[in-house]
Amino acid sequence: MNLLQNYLSGRWQAGTGQGTPLLDPVLGTELARVSSAGLDLADGFTFARETGGNALRAMTYRERAGLLAAIGKVLQANRDAYYEIATANSGTTKKDSGVDIDGAIFTIGQYARWGEALGDVRALSDGAPARMSKEPAFLSQHVLVPTRGVALFINAFNFPAWGLWEKAAPALLSGVPVIVKPATATAWLTQRMVADVVEAGVLPAGAISVVCGSSQGLMDALKPFDVVSFTGSAETAGVIRSHKAVAQLSVRANIEADSLNSALLLPDAAPGTPAFDLLVAEVAREMTVKSGQKCTAIRRVLVTAAHYDAVAQAISAKLAKVTVGNPRNDTVRMGALVSREQLDNVKAGLAELRGQTDVLHDGASAPLVDADPAIAACIGPVLLGTRSPATADRVHAVEVFGPVATLMPYDGLEQAYDFIRRGEGSLVASVYSADAAQIAETALALADSHGRVHAISPEVAAVQTGHGNVMPMSLHGGPGRAGGGEELGGLRALGFYHRRSAIQAETAAIDAVTAASTPFAR
């Protein structure tokens, strides 16, 4: 039995019991097991908080940026092994594995560069000193300093690599030790990356820990200055936010949950225009990348009623070319879902949406390449459509976490915004048009219900970064149903791991404070 070890209290520890198996979602074979049973979590969290926290806070931002650069090198050196693990445990094609693995390495590299520029200080100044009286002798200067606690990450199965490092990079740069609990289904890659970093000895003791298995007891180990960042279902998010640590101890919680992201074709983009083609290509890509298992994937496609049929046909034509099956076969464009359980969830979600929609393209029954449909967690892409999006309430509420999207017509932009807002807060909406002024207006109209608005116009067709790709320069998160969290966004991410304080003092003392800090510019 290959029981993955946990790294806690500065040493490798095996959980007790038989553990929970991790499977190959294409072949159905067991790959490893995880168990966190019997671990002394309180001791592990204290070790991270004290030994790890003290060591990290003693370093400057520039020094901690150096840690990130060193992590990046370690991961780069072991990159081939990660691709192998992803193929086996996530069932993803090489390209899709890259979104996770290379996305992680890219994000760490960005924070290493940004952190280097923060220099050799241990605090950030936030804004300029403000006068507290008519005389300029008494001033208020806001500062950000690292929180004296740990950062607990309870992560999702779809990004075992990026999901760890997009959170760990800003946490470590901030001087806050990390404890990661990967989703069990794909815990192997997370555990392996942590093992490689530990093995390389590039981080101070206690700076990083990994617990594989159950999340039982993790929240109980938190104290007031700790933070928790969760990615996963809205239901579990509710449990986390109701937990005593958050509700009573004021532990900061960052949540990224469900999201019914939209793609909006603006009225100027008729069939035959480049913007129209860009929407078609982006929707087909977003539906199939990582088999649609991205929190940011397009779930709702809004087009003017006149173009509904043309869009349906064009997207369906693209989807018809997508081969599905074993990612080890080079002809396969789309691999597996992460597990049979997820396959069941996708089928259940599809059944629910089908009650209010038509099937415009049905890849679900297409034959698989090199994979046994009785074993593999594979399903082809399905495009649904409804001509009554005002009454089809399910399409605005049910996130099918697979290669599924729903097309719907709108009558006027205000109605389109209303439909999009029925998602009650999403991570991202994309907009397709050649009209820059209209793009700006639409983006500002959608900004309050989205963490990100991504505009694809012919002008940027070749350089746009993709509706669903989360770039470290931009905010990742969304209000309402999407959980209300904020991640990334360049140095904005550091805010979650810092405490803001106003220092009110005489000019000489404020001068000494600002001399010991770097301006927190975004």
Tell me the helix, strand and coil percentages in the chain, rounded to 5. 40, 20, 35
Contacting residues for 507 by C-beta, under 8 A, at least 6 apart: 136, 137, 138, 139
Looking at 296-339, list the stretches that DSSP marks H as alpha helix, in order from N- to C-terminal side: 308-319
**166 is a catalytic site residue:** no
Q: Cα(341)–Cα(493) distance, rounded to whole angstroms?
A: 33
Closest separation in Å from C-beta 442 to its own copies: 9
The answer to whether 306 contacts its own copies (rule: CB under 8 A) is: no
**295 is a catalytic site residue:** yes
Compute how many other C-beta atoms are within 10 angstroms of the C-beta atom of residue 209: 25
| Residues 396 and 354: beta-carbon distance below 8 Å | no
Closest separation in Å from C-beta 121 to its own copies: 10
Q: Whose Cβ is closer to its own copies: residue 2's or residue 242's?
A: 242
The answer to whether 481 contacts its own copies (rule: CB under 8 A) is: yes
The answer to whether 151 contacts its own copies (rule: CB under 8 A) is: no
Measured in degrees and rounded to the nearest 5, phi and psi for residue 210 equal -135, 130
Interface with its own copies in residues 369-428 (CB under 8 A): 421, 424-425
Q: Cα(213)–Cα(183) distance, rounded to whole angstroms?
A: 8
Q: Whose Cβ is closer to its own copies: residue 231's or residue 291's?
A: 231
Q: Whose Cβ is closer to its own copies: residue 202's or residue 470's?
A: 470
Tokens of 212: 């594989």
Q: Whose Cβ is closer to its own copies: residue 241's or residue 394's?
A: 241
| Residues 190 and 168: beta-carbon distance below 8 Å | no
CB-side neighbour CA atoms (13 Å) of 415: 13
| Residues 297 and 346: beta-carbon distance below 8 Å | no
Closest separation in Å from C-beta 516 to its own copies: 7
Instruction: Write out the DSSP string of 206-241.
Output: TSEEE--S--TTTGGG--TT-EEEEES-HHHHHHHH
The answer to whether 323 contacts its own copies (rule: CB under 8 A) is: no
The answer to whether 238 contacts its own copies (rule: CB under 8 A) is: yes
Q: Cα(431)–Cα(118) distance, rounded to whole angstroms?
A: 35
Interface with its own copies in residues 9-38 (CB under 8 A): none
Q: Cα(138)–Cα(180) distance, rounded to whole angstroms?
A: 44
The answer to whether 482 contacts its own copies (rule: CB under 8 A) is: yes
Given 166, 212, 282, 295, the catalytic residue:
295
The answer to whether 194 contacts its own copies (rule: CB under 8 A) is: no
The answer to whether 242 contacts its own copies (rule: CB under 8 A) is: yes
Q: Cα(146)–Cα(160) distance, rounded to whole angstroms?
A: 26
Q: Which stretch binds its own copies (CB under 8 A): 163-171, 193-201, 277-285, 494-502?
A: 494-502
Binding mask 417-436 for its own copies (x = CB under 8 A): ----x--xx----------x
Q: How many residues bind its own copies (CB under 8 A)?
A: 92
Interface with its own copies in residues 89-148 (CB under 8 A): 122-123, 126-128, 130-133, 135, 137-138, 140, 142-143, 145-148
Query: 58, 247, 306, 348: which one contacts its own copies (CB under 8 A)?
Result: 247
The answer to whether 265 contacts its own copies (rule: CB under 8 A) is: no
Task: Compute, in degrees rounded to 10, the torsion defined by CA atoms 197, 199, 204, 208.
Answer: 50
Binding mask 455-474 for its own copies (x = CB under 8 A): x-x-xx--xxx-----x-xx
Tokens of 259: 């999201």
The answer to whether 454 contacts its own copies (rule: CB under 8 A) is: yes
Q: Whose Cβ is closer to its own copies: residue 329's or residue 415's?
A: 415
Q: Whose Cβ is closer to its own copies: residue 361's or residue 481's?
A: 481
Q: Which stretch binds its own copies (CB under 8 A): 12-20, 77-85, 157-165, 245-253?
A: 245-253
Q: Which stretch binds its own copies (CB under 8 A): 280-288, 358-366, 371-379, 512-520?
A: 512-520
Closest separation in Å from C-beta 521 to its own copies: 7
Contacting residues for 254 by C-beta, under 8 A, at least 6 apart: 227, 228, 229, 230, 477, 483, 485, 486, 487, 496
Given 166, 256, 282, 399, the catalytic residue:
256
The answer to whether 285 contacts its own copies (rule: CB under 8 A) is: no
Catalytically annotated residues = 256, 295
